[in-house]
Amino acid sequence: MSNQEKHWEKSRGLLMITLAIWFVFSIGIFLFGAEMNEVTGPFGYPWTYWFTCQGSLGAFVILIFWFANRQEKIDEEFGFSEREDE
């Protein structure tokens, strides 16, 4: 397998993990919205309510920065990161 194929395979793996986490916060939680809302969550808000107001939104912000850092590491590992002068 060439260097580039390995790089792409790893990038694709990272994409799958990212999309799985995205799925939990954008869809998974809301499949059980009614049940989870009975429980008191962070800062005393009902759980599902808190996720729609802040929780999921904040999770997406963190997820994107995490993804960007991981992808940069993968690019570096296979020598595909950009040079500064480009």
Partner 1 sequence: MKSTNFIDNLPKVYGIYTGGFIGFIILMAIAEQMGMTAKAIGIAFVAFTVFIYALIGWLSRTAQADAYYVAGRQVPTVFNGMATAADWMSGASFVAMAGGIYFKGYGYMALLVGWTGGYVLVASLLAPYLRKFGCYTVPDFIGTRYGGNLARFSAVVVLTVASFTYVTAQINATGTIASVALDIPFQYAVYIGLISILLCSMLGGMRGVTWTQVAQYIVLIIAYLLPVFWISNKMGAGFFPHFMLADEVARIGELESQFGFVKNSAADLATVPKGLAGITKAHSAVNATPWAFISLALAMMMGTASLPHVMMRYFTTPSVKAARKSVGWSLFFIFLLYSSAPMLATLSKLSLIDPNLSTGIIGKSIAEVQAIDWYQNWNQANLMFISDFNGNGTVELNEFFMGGKAVVLATPEIAGLPYVISGLVAAGGMAAAMSTADGLILAIANAISHDVYYKIIDPKAETAKRLVVARVLLVVIGFAGATIAAMEIQGILGSVIWAFDFAMSGLFFPLVLGVWWKRANRQGAIAGMLGGLAAGTWYLVWVRTGGSGFLGITQLTFGIFGSAVSLVAMVVVSLMTQEPDKATQKMVDEVRVPSGKTILGKQ
Residues that bind partner 1 (CB under 8 A): 4, 7-8, 11, 15, 18-19, 22, 25-27, 30-34, 37, 43-46, 48-49, 52-54, 56-58, 60-61, 63-65, 67-68, 71-72, 75, 79-83, 86
- Please report how close the Cβ of residue 8 comes to partner 1 at its closest, in angstroms: 6
Greatest alpha-carbon pair distance for the chain in Å reads 55
Nearest one of 39, 61, 64 to 50, comparing CA atoms: 39
How near is the Cβ of 30 to partner 1 at its closest, in Å? 5
Rounded Cα distance, 73 and 7, in Å: 11
